[in-house]
Amino acid sequence: MARPSGDAIGPDSSASSAGGPGSTSAISLLQQLGVDIDPELLELALTHRSFAYEHPGVSHNERLEFLGDSILGQAVTVMLYNDYPSLDEGELAKRRASLVSSVALAEIARSIGLGQYVRLGRGEELTGGRDKSSILADTVEALIGATYLHCGGAEATQMVLRLIRPLLESPDRFGAAMDPKTSLQELAARLGHGLPVYEVTDSGPDHSKLFEATVVLSGKKISTGSGSSKKQAEMAAALEAWTTLQAG
């Protein structure tokens, strides 16, 4: 693997242009990803549309996200087909859906501290955008797309497999990521908390709504999660609650 080139993208970067090359923070992100991405392409992959809207002339990462989504799906599909020869089509499809879900991608993003590098608009910054599951998941896909363009399909596939491997190696966590609401309900029952209650709110225009779900157990708010649909938000909140309960 080539040595990451890096740029001036760093934690909480909001500047519209990069500074000098070799930034320690950018190199740290690339080292966690295990790839080398052109600085300008990396900056694009980390630029959310909210930042671009506030900075006319700046592009955002949604085209890279579109590309990365396809690469991700192919890499996971081939891996599951080759590594699990005894699983039938239905089970393979279920596992694939879990591994490429926004819940799983957001968990991967948090594990590498990706939120601190995303370029956000002021509004998203003020409303906790750096930890929104939908933004984190989309940024992971954009980084996969950027890796494909700069490094090629083989290296992009290897990066995808490195990122999802921790989920596969933790049966409990993989099960929770596959069906977080059921996993939370079962864990809550074992711990005597009763059934989880989901409180969901939404904001934004009809064509671009953001949903936020809060999990309430035994009358106490345990976690929150966000997504572009009610289902995504509830799943994100459920996985966060499951993680909290598991940690004791």
Binding residues for Mg(2+): 65, 138, 141
Residues placed in the known binding site: 65, 138, 141
Q: Mark whether 69 is an active-site residue.
A: yes
Q: Are strands 210-217 and 197-203 parallel, antiparallel or unpaired?
A: antiparallel
DSSP string, 75-113: HHHHHHHHH-TT--HHHHHHHHHHHTSHHHHHHHHHHTT
Helices 171-178 and 89-99: angle between axes, nearest 10 degrees: 90
Q: Are 151 and 37 in contact (CB under 8 A)?
A: yes
Active-site residue identified among 36, 43, 69, 234: 69
Q: Mark whether 155 is an active-site residue.
A: no
Active-site residue identified among 141, 212, 234, 240: 141
Task: Find the helix or strand (DSSP H, E) in which 186 lies.
Answer: helix 180-190
DSSP state of 55: S
Residue positions annotated with a catalytic role: 69, 141
